[in-house]
Amino acid sequence: MDPQRNTNATLVDLLDRVLDKGLVIHADLIVSVAGIPLIGVNLRAALAGMDTMLKYGMMQAWDERIRDWEQEHRSKKKSCMVQGEEVILKMLGAYYSSEGIYTAWRYGYLYLTSERLLLYHEDFGEVLFETPLMKIQSLLIRKGEHFTEKKEREELYLLLEGSKIARLSGLDIDQLKETIEKRMKELGLVLKKDPEIPVLEERAAEFLAQGEQLICSGKMWYLMDAEGIIEDTWRPGYLYLTDKRVCWWYNFERRIVIEIPVSGIIGSMMETRDLTNILKKEKVLDLLYAANGTRRVATFSGDALEEWNKILKRIISGRVESQTEQETETCPQCGRTASIKELLEQGCSGCGWVSARKKVISGPLSVVSG
């Protein structure tokens, strides 16, 4: 074969040539130090596609052995059914596994039988998910992100015994839900109405602590602080609110960049600003919080900012009201101890003292003219 040279060849062309024609490496290498040979390498290697290897009589025994094993293995597929069990529904589906460090959708066939619901991988003979119907307490359908495409698809959330939650997806999730409900009704099993099933997400599963409940989440841009020569930059990610904290997840680095304990939130406000030279007069949300004895601001921009602002203000007002009800103070006139809320709103029941704020609120409205 005559050597050829093509200056316009790409990496794809190189791989195609190697897999089709093959590559043989024959090298003798000696590593020397100060003229003294220390290491000798005698290299004989062949790299090609399997079709090319077999064509030249290489690796034939290994190929035959692997093919025989695979054929025998596939012919002995294990059944996932127990004796006397009847299959009511079967469809392609997936189960979101978050056990240990392995968090991903696992695919197989969803089987609804007379007694249980399971996901079975037929090629490997493995049951990926299984639950008896009697352990299902409630179920509902929610929207979720598609596995590969940028669109939504439906997921079936199952609330199991022990407050465990399972997420399933299938070709026809509505049919699966209806068939499960019908079979459970035939067995005399009652499902809970209007279940409170927390939202689960692939990203949230990576950082949520045990027992931490996700309240709401959404796509959100965050203004990251300057680093080195890089100025303040808007980065895309996801904002999460749990029962313990507010945190922002940076997708590119797959990590939490900022987290604020709920108890550290001081306030929130919305403004209209110029984000960049191109994006002008965009709404932003400033979240004020306390950290290490100082007040700081986290700035976000995106959809549903007004809803986020309302939620944050409810959290702040609820916490302040709770603290006011619990904290006590003494009456400035008689010294009687009472809650701050009682003194401010009702006055002192011992001596009749009334706060100045209550006098202003209850007094007549006056207009001061210059």
Task: Judge whether residue 8 has pLDDT over 70.
Answer: no
Per cent of the chain over pLDDT 70 is: 79
The reported pLDDT for the residue numbered 112 is: 94
Contacts of 155 by beta carbon, 8 Å cutoff, 6+ apart: 141, 142, 143, 144, 167, 168, 169, 173
At residue 183, the pLDDT reads 93
Q: What is the pLDDT of residue 116?
A: 93
What pLDDT does residue 211 have? 75
Q: Is the dihedral of CA 333, 336, 341, 345 positive or negative?
A: negative
Residues in CB range of 194: below 8 A, 6 or more apart: none
Long-range (24+ apart) CB contacts under 8 A made by 224-230 are 224/257
- Of 3.30.930.10, 3.90.550.10, 3.40.50.2300, 2.30.29.30, the CATH number of 203-324 is 2.30.29.30
Residue 96: Cβ within 10 Å count: 20
The answer, yes or no, to whether residue 39 has pLDDT greater than 70, is yes
Per the CB < 8 A criterion, the answer to whether 288 and 265 are in contact is yes
Q: What is the pLDDT of residue 59?
A: 85
C-alpha span between 36 and 27 (Å, rounded): 20
Q: Tell me, what's the pLDDT at 267? A: 87
Task: Label residue 180 by pLDDT band (50, 70, 90).
Answer: very high
323 to each of 149, 210, 287, 312, 326, how far by Cα in Å? 47, 27, 21, 17, 5
Full-model pTM: 0.45
Count Cβ atoms below 10 Å from residue 139 Cβ, excluding itself. Answer: 22
How many residues are recorded in the chain? Answer: 370
Q: What is the pLDDT of residues 293-322, one digit of tens each?
A: 888 999 999 888 888 888 888 887 766 555
Q: Is 50's pLDDT higher than 70? A: yes
How far is it, in rounded angstroms, from Cα 60 to Cα 67?
11
Tell me the three state secondary structure of residue 244: coil
Taking a C-beta distance cutoff of 8 angstroms, is the pair 241, 311 a contact? yes
- The residue ranking higher by pLDDT, 84 or 107, is 107
170, 154 contact by CB (below 8 A): no
| Residue 282: closest CA among 290, 294, 293, 274 | 274
Q: For 305, list phi and psi in degrees, rounded to 5.
A: -65, -40
Structure confidence at residue 343 as a pLDDT band (50, 70, 90): low
For residue 221, report the phi and psi dihedrals to the nearest 5 degrees.
-85, 145
pLDDT confidence of residue 187: 92
- How far, CA to CA in Å, does 292 sit from each of 257, 260, 288, 295, 339? 17, 12, 13, 8, 29
Residues of the chain with CATH 2.30.29.30: 87-197, 203-324
Mean pLDDT for all residues in the chain: 80
Q: What is the pLDDT of residue 147?
A: 45
**In this structure, which amino acid lies at residue 171?**
L
Quick one: pLDDT band at residue 120, thresholds 50, 70, 90?
very high
| Cβ proximity of 143 and 176 under 8 Å | no
> In the structure encoding, which two tokens stand for residue 154, read together?
């439906």
pLDDT tops 60 at residue 100: no
What is the rounded CA–CA span in Å between residue 312 and residue 291? 17
359 has pLDDT over 60? no
**CA 157 – CA 139 distance, rounded (Å):** 5
Give the mean pLDDT of 328-332. Answer: 72
Helix (H) or strand (E) holding 134: none
Higher model confidence: residue 112 or residue 45?
Answer: 112
Q: Which residue has the higher pLDDT, 45 or 91?
A: 91
**pLDDT at position 341:** 62
Query: Tell me, what's the pLDDT at 184?
Result: 93
| pLDDT on residue 368 | 34
pLDDT at 340 over 70: no
Q: Please give the Cα distance from 273 to 282 (Å, whole number).
A: 5
Q: State the Cα–Cα distance between residues 72 and 212, nearest whole angstrom.
A: 47
CA distances from 281 to 242, 305, 306, 328 (A): 30, 14, 16, 46
pLDDT range class, residue 53, cuts 50, 70, 90: confident
CATH class of residue range 87-197: mainly beta
62-80 confidence digits (pLDDT tens):
888 888 877 776 655 566 7
User: H or E element: which one contains 58?
Assistant: none
Q: At residue 216, does pLDDT exceed 60?
A: yes
| CA distance between the termini of the chain | 103
Distance of alpha carbon 27 from alpha carbon 339, whole angstroms: 88
